[in-house]
Structure 1
């Protein structure tokens, strides 16, 4: 890409406008302050797993080019809770973000840069012009080559200024726990004196701890507290933001040589802990995020068993794990690919248990179900699996008791990717806000850690009362006023609940109330700019330009894919579905007033030059993004839509 090519479409970057700044020592930052630097604007929101992936992808790039590159996080919230400045400050600390962050609660800067999806990256050159717009994740290799080009160009022109950026590190805070994620009760299988204690994912300290009954005393721990990946003794082993954990049955543990399975989320791995020896081992995952492993992703999208060697399989942000009595296996909430996996400790077999890998709220059998960043797992007495689907603010269930080989996904609470709220009563009208935890109780009810509402909620299905009358299904509130509760479970005495209160850095006990609250603070939708579209023929086009040094991977045919659907489904009368290519002609229904277009685009590229054959062992890259575009159908609206998966200006 030559300078002339880039100059042909030069667009001046808009000013950075928002409520305030974090990680700048209290100072405001303007584009003028950043002149002379290559700036990457990272439009993100802290609920979004893909945004969290981008944060980690960018760290090596930020370190490598620290004297010429400045990343600015533009936090543009999806959920109401994310607009809370204290919640944002906690998220910036939790995810160890080491660059300035602009708080953009009204989506002003988001709209000024025409962002349409989380995450979106916009590159601004040292003279203040937009150089590239990149949607989704997996762009770091291409960004690296673009940065090299911009450095060479602007160093030659004298417009590149080397030196430190505006980042100011916050003061560190010492705590026993730091943003704990999940907890499980410990039984005597982990030692004669272990009963009554809890295993806790001390996520912010990158370790697993055992807490005594007082919920404050750490009796033992695994992990050095340094973020990383290392097997070995408890004191030197390393995790990276672990979340879920589950204890294996004694006979299984004796056979496989470890007692605990850990969802090592940011390492994209499953880890094992031997409670007797303290040894930590890697059970599954090669450390390469599944989306970024293009060749595997393209060949392993279906439901069923994966590669025979679990250490060669790419995983993506496993968020929770659970030993399923019905399956005799570990179930994994694979948040990063919006799927449910299974793992057999005795054979090492990994499998996609349910989910297409597309993000959304679609019920049905495993090869049709859509999930949305599943973050919590529980099982009831029948063996059915209960799921907290965070991005759709949904409570769902996999009916394993009906057919363990092909469980049907069913939604009990939840409407869609952009619907949330705080409403009890009829489950069909009830609303949650980004729940992360779930627990099934002996009476048949299910508790939900309703994270962004700061509450514990209760779902009770239709049942027969003691007098023989039929009681309708109902949602109620058990407790509120909590700071991002991410997990909930029944304490050993059966009369109290244990809540993992993440943003308070603690576990707390809550008495089960004699009567539950009924709250109705309404339903809401994520507020984003609405696009007016014309009914009838509608052209959809996704822009993608392979980075310098890469070419489209056409060894197995067209390496691009476009999936299109809508809410309501009647909005599109023709053109929905999945096919190769990044262009599609749709037919929009003139009788529908509006809705949401759901679009997923994928493209695979490998290292290599145009016109040359891709080397056998070339590194390959998968580019993917999901868009949810709110639209109104108007005769004066646009007859087409162009979105950039990767656009260079």
Structure 2
């Protein structure tokens, strides 16, 4: 079936209720204030990379239809820190959100609109009726068609009101730096004279070279105008640059540039020649890469990944099924031309002395890439593209928005895996003369487990870490961003401690040995727009503020039979890819396992009857739905070279058994 994303039924939109509003000049908004406009409610949380992608997808729509379209961001926090109104205000400024934002820390509006995943988009027509409900990213094309349809319909009815929306910009808090991301040291002879520091001035869309005092601006690379443009230092453009890596001297000579930049929103790697100021694109075509786990469909061979999202819960830790393992083993190579490769939100870069390649934390697809600046080759080093926490062979491991990288003396790579609040390690072993990468988790247990707890590593907790570095004694320091701290993991003892607290969202940490005394920690304090030095204490703190889990509303269902239906409609211009049989699939499990008496497992179709145990009071249903579609007309043949798409959505539905419904309906909407 092919149809628009518009709902076939009319449901009155619920009132917008929360703690307060941002970007409205202090005014509280109601649905009545927005009557006459096309309204997009964007349910988001500022830790979520998919949510950040959606912010960028919506910007062109907001600009094109600014007199008739209003976007309202409904901030529904996942982590405890995200419920802090000061942190939310900083995030709204950092990501240049130019629409009103409702602060919904208790998830009141989230529940009223039955949101189940970050991000979720709800479209409300000018008369106040819900006309579409979408999960995940990648919906810009479908939304534009729907907005055009609503404009035409309501202009004819006289219910469309043109004019300015309710957005009122907030005053900036930035100085010379604005929400800096990552930092590297530049030795004497590279860049300005003396030992200096190059920082990603992320909020100003440029790079800044600072003197040893961390205040004197020596050089600037990039015009400060958001965008993508190669050229000299004064005219080049970046879009939220994050990680930086200085290449070894011989590689710099061969490549023609000194520093590689993870240009996150441009989905590119950029090279900077510090002597000439020239900025060039060295990898990435600017087209956001979609999830690799969906790049092949074992049954249909070759469907491309569809829109992604971070669901309530992703069933982290499940063993890979045979279908997925087959898809990974036959995954296509990324090609030899680095400028033709699609990347997705590269967040950090690191020169690996062991691999003699640049390692890239590809946050947007939950993978670790490798890039050779001399040959231009790009390959996947670790991660399947599935989001979660799963160790083992690098090709089968799961990551979750990896955002920080560091290398130790043995050549192992430490990874700050932000969405699982984890510290991961990629080590290398020889098997039959071939070097194989293995993934191991040092701290962290899953997508929705976090906290502030020191002690034995298995019980320790972080909260959305973004940076990592190796200390002189071989221990590992972590920029524990949402805890406002720098933590220390000692591999020798397997324990975690705290080196510093009271920081404002530290996004990176670096060992600074530029002085004459003991090495210091150089910390990027993103929300104070500064870099600070702190001593490495001889005796670290031991903190235990407990472990937490993301709290999500529970759905009341009755024990016994539960009819599950996932609705899917292929976008206009596509048809279901039924060349190899049923192109849809459900994979279902539960926590605890005995919640499901029957109905677990993987099979084709989007309808399943589950049976819930009567003696298990509550739990979580883990549901993954997939559907494959290709470009073509309904009823016609799929052309030989048609683009194909695999749409996938993961849900974790917390349920409590009682007198609730005996059916559960979810939407898997396919939109380009």
Q: Same fold (TM over 0.5)?
A: yes
1:534–1:637 contact (8 Å) kept in structure 2:
yes
Change in CA separation of 1:618 and 1:245 when aligned onto 2, cut-off 3 Å: same
Partner residue, 2:135: 135
Q: Give the root-mean-square deviation of aligned CA atoms.
A: 2.9
Partner residue, 1:274: 273
Partner residue, 2:404: 376
CA offsets, 1:213-269, max 9 Å, x none?
Answer: 111112112111111011111111111101111111111111111111111100111
- 1:306 Cα offset (Å): 1.2
Change in CA separation of 1:6 and 1:183 when aligned onto 2, cut-off 3 Å: closer
CA offsets, 1:463-500, max 9 Å, x none?
Answer: 3xxxxxxxx42111100000000111111145210000
2:349–2:359 contact (8 Å) kept in structure 1:
yes
Partner residue, 2:320: none
Partner residue, 2:567: 543
Partner residue, 2:168: 168
2:367–2:384 contact (8 Å) kept in structure 1:
yes
Using the TM superposition, name which of 284-293 and 380-389 deviates more: 284-293
**Equivalent of 1:324, from 346, 352, 357?**
352
Using the TM superposition, name which of 197-206 and 276-285 deviates more: 276-285
Aligned pairs, number: 637
1:485 counterpart = 2:513:
no
- 1:630 Cα offset (Å): 2.3
> Matches of 1:606 and 1:161 in 2, distance apart?
38
1:381–1:442 contact (8 Å) kept in structure 2:
no
2:7–2:131 contact (8 Å) kept in structure 1:
no
> Matches of 1:3 and 1:496 in 2, distance apart?
60
> Matches of 2:344 and 2:602 in 1, distance apart?
23
1:385–1:400 contact (8 Å) kept in structure 2:
no
- 1:425 Cα offset (Å): 0.7
- 1:522 Cα offset (Å): 0.7
CA offsets, 1:549-576, max 9 Å, x none?
Answer: 5444567776555554554566567665
Using the TM superposition, name which of 270-279 and 447-456 deviates more: 270-279
1:27 counterpart = 2:48:
no
CA offsets, 1:365-397, max 9 Å, x none?
Answer: 123211111111111111111111111111111
Change in CA separation of 1:329 and 1:569 when aligned onto 2, cut-off 3 Å: farther
Change in CA separation of 1:486 and 1:148 when aligned onto 2, cut-off 3 Å: same
1:223 counterpart = 2:222:
yes
**Equivalent of 1:441, from 464, 471, 492?**
471
Change in CA separation of 1:608 and 1:299 when aligned onto 2, cut-off 3 Å: closer
- 1:185 Cα offset (Å): 1.1
Partner residue, 2:620: 596
What is the TM-score of this pair, normalised by structure 1?
A: 0.91
Using the TM superposition, name which of 489-498 and 546-555 deviates more: 546-555
1:138–1:291 contact (8 Å) kept in structure 2:
no
Q: Which runs of structure 2 are paired with 1:403-418 in the superposition (5 Å)?
A: 405-418=435-448
CA offsets, 1:247-292, max 9 Å, x none?
Answer: 1111111111111111110011111111222111111111111129
- 1:593 Cα offset (Å): 5.2
2:227–2:238 contact (8 Å) kept in structure 1:
yes
| SS of match in other structure, 1:367 | helix
Using the TM superposition, name which of 285-294 and 130-139 deviates more: 285-294
**Equivalent of 1:364, from 392, 403, 412?**
392
Change in CA separation of 1:539 and 1:58 when aligned onto 2, cut-off 3 Å: same
Structure 2: runs of 5+ lacking an equivalent:
297-301, 306-326
> Matches of 1:573 and 1:350 in 2, distance apart?
46
> Matches of 1:209 and 1:602 in 2, distance apart?
44
| SS of match in other structure, 2:62 | helix
CA offsets, 1:433-464, max 9 Å, x none?
Answer: 11111111231211110000000001112x3x
Q: Which runs of structure 2 are paired with 1:63-142 in the superposition (5 Å)?
A: 63-142=63-142
2:201–2:241 contact (8 Å) kept in structure 1:
yes
1:52 counterpart = 2:52:
yes
> Matches of 2:464 and 2:636 in 1, distance apart?
47
| SS of match in other structure, 1:487 | strand
Change in CA separation of 1:308 and 1:579 when aligned onto 2, cut-off 3 Å: farther
- 1:594 Cα offset (Å): 4.2
- 1:419 Cα offset (Å): 1.0
Partner residue, 1:422: 452
Partner residue, 1:243: 242
- 1:646 Cα offset (Å): 2.4
1:517 counterpart = 2:541:
yes
Using the TM superposition, name which of 583-592 and 275-284 deviates more: 583-592
Change in CA separation of 1:261 and 1:77 when aligned onto 2, cut-off 3 Å: same
Change in CA separation of 1:515 and 1:623 when aligned onto 2, cut-off 3 Å: same
> Matches of 2:257 and 2:413 in 1, distance apart?
24
Structure 1: runs of 5+ lacking an equivalent:
464-471
What is the TM-score of this pair, normalised by structure 2?
A: 0.88
Partner residue, 1:386: 414
